[in-house]
Amino acid sequence: GQQVMQIPQYQHVQEGEDFTTYCNSSTTLSNIQWYKQRPGGHPVFLIQLVKSGEVKKQKRLTFQFGEAKKNSSLHITATQTTDVGTYFCAGLASGTYKYIFGTGTRLKVLA
Amino acid sequence: EAQVTQNPRYLITVTGKKLTVTCSQNMNHEYMSWYRQDPGLGLRQIYYSMNVEVTDKGDVPEGYKVSRKEKRNFPLILESPSPNQTSLYFCASSPTRAGGQSPVGYFGPGTRLTVT
């Protein structure tokens, strides 16, 4: 079946270091969304990427969608303690209305 | 305030006792869906609905039912809960556009269900 693999599963960084999480899909995606979930909270939408090769930035966050629309990445520059949480990607498989979530990357930032 | 609400937020029940988790959104969204979140497995889609009276299975529909009689409500029904349905459940909604691309997923606060 359709799968979206996300790595790494966990990441501990010192405050100020950069962080990257990657998503890889077994099938082509119509779009990909990124969410952040704080401990004890619910996923909160960050961004959606639709076009092949698309790059979007939100302050210290940079999102990329691969040329083949099967992979994506989220990069955080100079992490802060407020970045703590689990980051999920969610892909909409082409031709369907089903979202497949990655397993998430849990980020811890050490002050 | 735009929001997705779920009730109850916490529920402890016993095997076989039918239960319903309600989900309601006030954004007039067409698309609604249910997910369960388990450690190490991330979020898995249970059911989704494109609009009123239109529902379809996600990746893990076994043991669950849904209905979409009104646009704003999308209840999740467990006819005979079992311990393996102990999980954290999220309802989500989003608008749909031509081509089926849903730009934003709004999640409810979650329902933590324990089945003993």
- pLDDT value at residue B104: 57
Q: How many Cβ atoms sit within 10 Å of the Cβ of residue A110?
A: 12
pLDDT category of residue B99 using cuts at 50, 70 and 90:
very low
Contact list in B for residue A43 (CB cut-off 8 A) is 43, 90, 92, 105, 107
Instruction: State whether residue B56 sits within 8 Å of chain A by CB.
Output: yes
Alpha-carbon distances of A45 from A34, A38, A50, B14, B56, rounded to whole Å: 6, 12, 15, 34, 23
Q: How many Cβ atoms sit within 10 Å of the Cβ of residue B62?
A: 8
Two tokens, residue A23? 């998503």
Two tokens, residue B110? 């979650």
Residue of B nearest to A2 (CA): B59
pLDDT category of residue B102 using cuts at 50, 70 and 90:
low
pLDDT in tens, B34-73: 999 998 888 999 999 988 999 999 889 999 999 999 999 9
**Do the Cβ atoms of B88 and B76 come closer than 8 Å?**
no
Q: B110 pLDDT exceeds 90? A: yes
Two tokens, residue A46? 């960050």
- pLDDT value at residue B97: 57
pLDDT category of residue B101 using cuts at 50, 70 and 90:
low
Instruction: State whether residue A85 sits within 8 Å of chain B by CB.
Output: no
Contact list in A for residue B27 (CB cut-off 8 A) is none
| Segment 28-67 of chain A within 8 Å of chain B by CB | 30-31, 33, 35, 42-45, 48, 50
B76 strand-pairing partners? B21, B66
Q: How far is B103 from chain A (nearest CA, A)?
A: 6
Instruction: State whether residue B39 sits within 8 Å of chain A by CB.
Output: no
pLDDT in tens, A83-101: 999 999 998 877 777 788 9
Q: How far apart are CA B43 and CA A104, in angstroms?
A: 9
Q: Going by DSSP bridges, is the β-strand pair B10-13/B111-115 parallel, antiparallel, or unpaired? A: parallel
Q: How far is A46 from chain B (nearest CA, A)?
A: 9
Instruction: State whether residue B50 sits within 8 Å of chain A by CB.
Output: yes
Q: How far apart are CA B14 and CA A106, in angstroms?
A: 32
- State whether A97 and B50 contact (CB < 8 Å): yes
- pLDDT value at residue B98: 43
Q: A77 pLDDT exceeds 70? A: yes
